[in-house]
């Protein structure tokens, strides 16, 4: 009878351990799913940043083509302030 009781105890202990392992495996699967979702969100965010940077670069290049070449900085356009200052020295 002692062997049967000891066997029953071992089976119960093994069952509990396997139940714990199954719960932890389920938790691990949930964490992996969450990590996958977060990775996808990060990827989408990075793509959006890349598009914004590309657009910013394009606008910068367009602005550069509009700027007159061969003139010192600040002399490319006539501003009302420059006209006012020039008028004041007469």
Q: For residue range 12-35, what is the model confidence (pLDDT) as tens digits?
A: 999 999 999 999 999 999 999 999
Q: Tens digit of pLDDT for each residue in 53-62?
A: 999 999 999 9
Q: Which two tokens stand for residue 75?
A: 């002399």
Is 88 a residue whose pLDDT tops 90? no
The better pLDDT of the pair 21, 3 is held by: 21
For the record, the structure tokens of 52 come out as 């914004």
What residue ranges in 1-90 does DSSP mark as E strands? none
Give yes or no for a contact between 67 and 76, defined as CB atoms under 8 angstroms apart.
yes
**What is the value of pTM for the model shown?**
0.53
């Amino acid at each position: 009878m002692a062997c049967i009781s000891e066997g029953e105890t071992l089976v119960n202990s093994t069952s509990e351990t396997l139940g714990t392992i199954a719960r932890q495996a389920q938790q691990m699967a949930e964490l992996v799913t969450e990590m996958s979702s977060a990775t996808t969100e990060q990827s989408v965010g990075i793509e959006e940043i890349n598009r914004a940077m590309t657009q910013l670069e394009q606008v910068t290049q367009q602005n550069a083509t509009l700027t007159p070449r061969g003139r010192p900085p600040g002399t490319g356009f006539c501003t009302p302030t420059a006209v006012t200052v020039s008028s004041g020295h007469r």
